[in-house]
Amino acid sequence: MLVAKYYNNHDIRIEELPIPKIGPGEILVKVRASGICGTDVMEWYRIQKAPRILGHEIAGEVVESKSDQYQPGQRVFVSHHVPCNDCKYCRAGKHTACDTLHRGNYDPGGYSEFVRVPQINVDYGVYVLPEQVSYLEGTMIEPLACGVRGLRLIDIRPEHTVLILGCGISGILNIQLAKLTGARVVATDINEYRLQKAKEFGADAVVHAAQDLQLKAERVIVCTGAYAAVEQAFRCVDKAGIVMFFAIPNQDIAVPVPDFWRNELTVTTSYGAAPADLEEALALIAAKRINVKDTITQTLPLTQIQAAFKIVAEAKESLKVVLEP
C-alpha cells in the first residue's frame, strides 16, 4: 500500500509498506478520506518524531474484521487517541490527560491507504457513519469534537461576547459552536478571505487583526499560533473573563500578572477530545447543526500530499484540506 512519510514540511515522501495484518479484536480500514490538521504543519512540533506517518482525521470502510462489533462494508470514523477509561484522569472526567490516550494511535497513520485499528481503539474509538454523513464530513468529527470540548470547558452563555482570534478551520468551527450557545461572536484574522468565511459561517462581526480592537469579551478563544494574538487576547478579555488557548504559539506565553490578579482572569487550554465529545460532534454533523461540508475547501489524492501541505502551511485561500487515498 502507499503511505506518505513525513520528514519535514518540505519533504514528505510517498513510499510503499505492506498492508498491516490485524489481530484478535482488531479491524482493517481502507482510508477513504484523511484530513490535514493544522498541527501536522507545525514543523517545530512534528519534527521531533520524524520520520513518521502522520494523519489522525480519517474516515473509511471496514475491509477486514476480527471484532464482533464491526463487519466489512461498514463506513466508519476512527479516533486515533482513546482513553483507558479507568485511570484517575478518566475517572475525574479528564480523559484527554490520560496516558493511554497520549500513547495510542492507529497503524501506521492516516496518511496511508489502509490502517490497522488496535483493539482498544476498536472498543472505544470507532463510530459508524450515518447514511447522511459522507466520508469527507467524517474527517471533521475529530476537529469539531476538539471544539466541543473546548467550549464546554469555558461555559459560554447567551449574554456573553465571545472573541475568536484566528479564522482558520479551528476558528470557523469555534464560531459555529459559539453561535449555538446564543452568544455574540466577534472574529479576527489578518486574511481577508478568512474574514469573509467567518461572516459566512455566522460571526456577528469581523475585524482585521491589525486594527485596534476596542472590545471587552467575557470569553476569548485563541485559534492561531501568532504571538500577536496572545497579546490581543489579554487586551480584550473582560474582568472575570476566560482566555482559552485552543492553539498555541511556539514560545512561552507572558501573562500580564497585575491584570491577571486584579481582574480575576482565567487562562486555560484545551487539548484533544474525549469519546463523549466525539459522539456529540458526530450528532451535530449528522443533524446538520454544524456545517462542516463547506469548510472543506480542497481535496487532493494522497500522492499530492506535498502540495496539500503547502496549501495548509501557507494559509491563504483555504480552510480545510482533505486527502482522498
DSSP helix/strand/coil, 58:
strand
* pLDDT-above-90 percentage for the chain: 94
Whether pLDDT at 226 is above 90: yes
Average pLDDT of 199-209? Answer: 98
Q: Is the pLDDT of residue 42 over 90?
A: no
> What is the pLDDT, as a whole number, of residue 198?
98
Q: Does residue 44 have a pLDDT over 90?
A: no
**Cα–Cα dist 152/280, whole Å:** 11
Rounded mean pLDDT, 205-231: 96
What end-to-end distance do the CA atoms of the chain give, in Å?
10
Question: Between these two residues, 50 and 234, which has the higher pLDDT value?
Answer: 234
The number of helix segments (H) and strand segments (E) in the chain equals 12, 15
For 58-71, b where at least 16 C-beta lie within 10 A, e where not — what string?
A: bbbbbebbebeebe
Compute the distance between CA of residue 325 and CA of residue 235 in angstroms, rounded to an integer. 44
Q: Is 59 helix (H, G, I), strand (E, B) or coil?
A: strand
E strand residue ranges, the chain: 2-8, 11-16, 27-35, 57-65, 75-79, 114-117, 126-128, 161-165, 184-189, 205-208, 217-222, 237-245, 266-269, 296-300, 320-323
Backbone φ, ψ for residue 198 (5° rounding): -60, -40
Place of cell 449528522: 286
Res 48: pLDDT? 84
CA 104/CA 106 separation, integer angstroms: 7
What would the DSSP string read from start to end of 224-247? S--HHHHHHHHHHEEEEEEEEESS
One-letter amino acid of 171: G
Q: 116: pLDDT confidence band, cut at 50, 70 and 90?
A: very high
- Report pTM: 0.96
User: Among residues 168, 288, 259, 261, which one has the least CA distance to residue 221?
Assistant: 168
pLDDT: is 38 or 118 the higher one? 118
Rounded Cα gap, residues 104 and 78, in angstroms: 12
Mean pLDDT over 256-279 rounds to 96
Q: Is residue 116 within 8 Å of residue 66, measured between CB atoms?
A: no
Residue range 133-168, pLDDT digits in tens: 999 999 999 999 999 999 999 999 999 999 999 999
Query: Taking the mean position of all CA atoms in its chain, how far away is CA 176?
Result: 14
User: What number is the average pLDDT over the span 17-42?
Assistant: 96
Q: What's the pLDDT score for residue 193?
A: 97
- Single-letter code of the amino acid located at 225: G
- Those residues with Cβ within 8 angstroms of residue 259's Cβ, 6 or more apart along the chain or in another chain: 234, 265
Paired strand residues for 322: 35, 299
List, as own/partner pairs, every contact residues 257-261 make where C-beta atoms lie below 8 angstroms and the sequence separation is at least 24, other chains included: 259/234
Domains of the chain: 2-140+292-323 (3.90.180.10), 145-269 (3.40.50.720)
How large is the average pLDDT for residues 94-120? 96
Q: What is the pLDDT of residue 43?
A: 86
pLDDT over 90 at 108, yes or no: yes
State which H helix or E strand residue 126 sits in. Answer: strand 126-128
Instruction: Report pLDDT for 236.
Output: 98
